[in-house]
Amino acid sequence: MSSEGTTSVSTHILDTSTGGPAGGVAVELSARGTDDHYHAIGHSETDPDGRCKDLPALPEGTTHARLTFLVEPYLARSQAAGAAFFPEVTVTFAVTPGEHYHLPLLLNPFGYSVYRGS
């Protein structure tokens, strides 16, 4: 859990087709509060270890958050098969104030999985 009242988000991407991290993937964090609209609050890119360590804390009053992973350029670079089947992956989740949310993305050219990690 993060410090009281601060809700934080982190993520990493593992390319399950290679068994390694997916570096260089653009990630956008958006938050939804009482106005029921999502607003982008931060952008990042996965490092060579596949991790985003610099996403901002969610604003007070956030009820839901969304991570959008722009995976198409990464998959185009790492696969010889051409265009990505999933050009982006969007994960929407409910949040509780003061919690930390780590959402790993397991990615391959024709599928993905995400879960709440620690």
**44-78 tens-digit pLDDT:** 999 999 999 899 999 998 999 999 999 999 998 87
CA–CA distance, 40 with 47 (Å, rounded to integer): 20
Domain assignment present for residue 2? The answer is: no
CATH number at residue 59: 2.60.40.180
1 in a domain, yes or no? no
Report if residue 92 sits inside a domain.
yes
CA-atom Rg of the chain in angstroms: 14
Query: DSSP 3-state assignment of 72?
Result: helix
Is position 3 within any domain? Answer: no
- Which tens digit of pLDDT belongs to each residue from 72-108? 999 988 765 566 789 999 999 999 999 999 999 999 9
- pLDDT at res. 50: 97
What pTM, to 2 d.p., does this model score?
0.90
The tokens describing 93, both together, are 């989740």
| Residue 40 structural domain | 8-114
Total tally of structural domains belonging to the chain: 1
Neighbours of 75 (CB within 10 A): 23
Predicted local confidence at residue 76, as pLDDT: 87
Closest CA to 16 of 88, 83, 75: 75
Asked whether residue 42 carries a pLDDT value surpassing 70, the answer given is yes
Between β-strands 105-108 and 20-21, what pairing exists: parallel, antiparallel or unpaired? unpaired
Single-letter code of the amino acid located at 108: N
- In a domain, residue 18? The reply is yes
